[in-house]
Amino acid sequence: MTTQPEYKSSLSTKRIVISLLIFFLIPIVKTITNQFVHNDTISYTMALNLAGALLIIYDWNLFGIHYNRSKKHLADTMIYMLIGMAVIGLWVYVDLKFLQADILISDPASTKAYLFGSPAIMLAFSFIQGAIINISFKCVTDRMNIQNRELIVILVSGFLFGLIYTIAFLSTFTLDLFIRTYLYNVVLIAILSYLYNQSHSFIPGILSFGIIMIIVQLYQLFLIL
């Protein structure tokens, strides 16, 4: 396995700010869209897919660096993708069974009603959401000196970006729901940050998160078909 990254990326302040503005546009676009379609899943599908496309295009050089790292070190990518799938899968299971946080996931009834659009819906709440999370928390933590401080960066990523993600997407505010959702997001972001710090690429995190969320959505859809 690799021990040091072979590429370095330092995002400009302008790029960080614009990337985060795109991230914060998601709930705004969702709210505006929902005035017309009156369906949270469809509204979030449009908002997530739009924001994901904008982030990937705008940060294409960053995305390309991480893609090339993962392609060059394919064994690491596969190992950390599998580790991510196992840990994220377990955490999502814990949430669905016990924690019941307000996570960003499609409503299976809506997916069934709009079955022709189900690929776009499932991709939005899986791989696209994974790309949005990973690119955004990379922007938040880009200026941190991570040399010999990986644990601190992982914890800061979890607590800081977990808070940002919770505030942005919490559907209804109650203290109990906020705490449960924040806890869920802190652990999820920390897991993704760990995968990034170990593999030096956010591609394993995107893949593992995306695959697990696809599986969860398919399972929930299967239960109502």
Average pLDDT, integer, range 40-58: 96
The answer, yes or no, to whether residue 8 has pLDDT greater than 60, is no
pLDDT tens sequence across 167-218: 999 999 999 999 999 999 999 999 999 999 899 899 999 999 999 999 999 9
In angstroms, rounded to a whole number, what is the distance separating the alpha carbons of residues 142 and 11? 7
pLDDT digits 0-9 by tens, 109-159: 999 999 999 999 999 999 999 999 999 988 888 877 655 677 887 888 899
Residue 8: inside a domain:
no
Average pLDDT over residues 7-32: 87
- Domain assignment present for residue 2? The answer is no
Residue 6: per-residue pLDDT: 44
Lowest mean pLDDT among 47-61, 73-87, 106-120, 144-158: 144-158
Helix, strand, or coil here: 170?
A: coil
199 is a domain residue: yes
The number of distinct structural domains making up the chain is: 1
**pLDDT above 70 as % of the chain:** 93
Does a structural domain hold residue 7? no
Domain around 184 = 13-224
Whether 146 is covered by a domain: the verdict is yes
Enumerate residues 6+ apart whose C-beta is below 8 A from 147.
none
Whether the CB-CB separation of 190 and 122 falls below 8 Å is answered with no
Question: How much is the pLDDT for 209?
Answer: 98
The predicted structure's pLDDT at residue 146:
57
In a domain, 5, yes or no: no
pTM of the model: 0.91
Contacts of 155 (CB under 8 A, 6+ apart): 190
The pLDDT of residue 142 is: 80
Q: How does residue 1 score in pLDDT terms, banded at 50, 70 and 90?
A: very low
